[in-house]
């Protein structure tokens, strides 16, 4: 049962990159409209579940802290990630985001003085090296590369935006220990989703006012998938699995997300990447696996894999 739940979460999170890229490039959605719509759907679902299970008490001071931290995550994180995905193949985006646990280890070592093992540093080196290769090869087309109309290749701007999202996510995870010890994962995730909807809705209204709102069925379906599956059900599946299996074993399933994104992007979007970018991706994944071989996830899974 637990492995089915973990695989389901990984499939949903891996598919989120494809759904986001499709909605932005072929579905007719703008960046802010997509984010607002996605988190409107997930917020409704999570709020219903929260009220059924019982909500936790949150003081005014804690709420203000939530809002201030929310500027970084979900605010800047999803702004960087979504804007970057529009300019970067789904697989490349997924492997850069997969480096968040490694970047978190680096930040924890620098700012929290937490000791990082030699495996952690070696994995961090490999991951950063792989990302550098991807950055250097951005904008180059692979042999025989072809894409559906509306898709652009990997650009330096897109890769850097997604990397900024990874850095932002790692910084948030490092600094959010205060919340992790005081609130349940469901409460944290619900508040984060609601804040994302509140933050991005005004910008979405301006975006619609300027460019109109003309989306197709595929784009609408992609946003519904993001709201229901990637932002709500995936978290619930992963959280349930954590109650049935060791966190270290559960975390290994997160490493297959880039592979799911690669296969899905090839099958659904017809995306291809050049060979050196593929090599860079393998190096990043190897670094993450090496660094997290004996890791234990103690924080909210929605913070580890914020998709």
pLDDT in tens, 75-134: 999 999 999 999 888 888 888 888 887 788 788 777 777 776 777 778 778 877 887 777
Per-residue pLDDT band for 288 (boundaries 50, 70, 90) equals confident
Per-residue pLDDT band for 29 (boundaries 50, 70, 90) equals very high
For range 253-275, the mean pLDDT:
80
Q: How far apart are CA 58 and CA 262, in angstroms?
A: 41
From the list 78, 1, 10, the residue with the least C-alpha distance to 251 is: 10
Three-state DSSP class for residue 155? coil
User: Which residues form the domain of 223?
Assistant: 2-304
| pLDDT score of 147 more than 60 | no
For range 164-174, the mean pLDDT:
88
- pLDDT at position 250, please? 67
For range 275-298, the mean pLDDT:
70
Instruction: Please provide the average confidence, as pLDDT, over all residues in the chain.
Output: 82
For range 128-148, the mean pLDDT:
62
Q: How far apart are CA 220 and CA 105, in angstroms?
A: 37
Instruction: Please classify residue 228 by burial: count the beta carbons closer than 10 Å to its beta carbon, then call 0-12 exposed, 13-18 middle and 19+ buried.
Output: middle
The answer to whether the predicted template modeling score (pTM) of the entire model surpasses 0.95 is: no
Count of beta carbons in the 10 Å neighbourhood of residue 5:
22
> Pick the residue with more confidence: 256 or 292?
256
**Radius of gyration for the chain, computed over Cα atoms and rounded to the nearest angstrom:** 18
Q: How many domains does the chain have?
A: 1
* Integer angstrom CA distances of residue 170 from 112, 164, 188, 221, 225: 13, 10, 16, 30, 25
Q: How far apart are CA 105 and CA 102, in angstroms?
A: 5
């Amino acid at each position: 049962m637990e492995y089915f739940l973990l695989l389901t979460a990984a499939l949903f999170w891996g598919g989120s990159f494809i759904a986001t890229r499709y909605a932005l490039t072929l579905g007719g959605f703008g960046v802010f409209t997509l984010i607002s719509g996605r988190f409107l759907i997930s917020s409704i679902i999570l709020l219903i579940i929260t009220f059924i299970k019982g909500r936790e008490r949150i003081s005014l001071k804690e709420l203000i802290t939530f809002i201030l931290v929310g500027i970084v995550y979900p605010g800047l994180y999803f702004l960087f990630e979504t804007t970057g995905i529009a300019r970067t193949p789904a697989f490349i985006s997924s492997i850069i985001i997969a480096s968040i646990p490694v970047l978190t280890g680096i930040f924890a070592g620098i700012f929290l003085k937490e000791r990082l093992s030699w495996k952690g540093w070696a994995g961090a080196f490999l991951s950063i090296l792989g990302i550098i290769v991807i950055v250097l090869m951005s904008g180059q087309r692979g042999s025989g590369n072809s894409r559906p109309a509306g898709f652009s290749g990997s650009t330096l701007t897109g890769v850097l935006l997604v990397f900024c999202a990874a850095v932002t996510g790692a910084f948030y995870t490092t600094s959010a220990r205060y919340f992790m010890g005081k609130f349940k994962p469901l409460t944290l995730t619900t508040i984060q989703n609601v804040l994302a909807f509140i933050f991005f809705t005004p910008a979405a209204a301006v975006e619609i006012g300027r460019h109109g709102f003309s989306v197709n069925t595929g784009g609408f379906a992609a946003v519904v998938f993001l709201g229901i599956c990637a932002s709500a059900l995936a978290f619930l599946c992963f959280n349930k699995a954590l109650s049935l299996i060791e966190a270290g074993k559960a975390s290994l399933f997160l490493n297959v997300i880039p592979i799911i994104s690669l296969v899905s992007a090839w099958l659904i979007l017809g995306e291809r990447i050049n060979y050196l970018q593929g090599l860079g991706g393998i190096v990043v994944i190897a670094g993450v696996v090496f660094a997290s071989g004996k890791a234990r996830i103690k924080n909210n899974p929605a913070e580890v894999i914020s998709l």
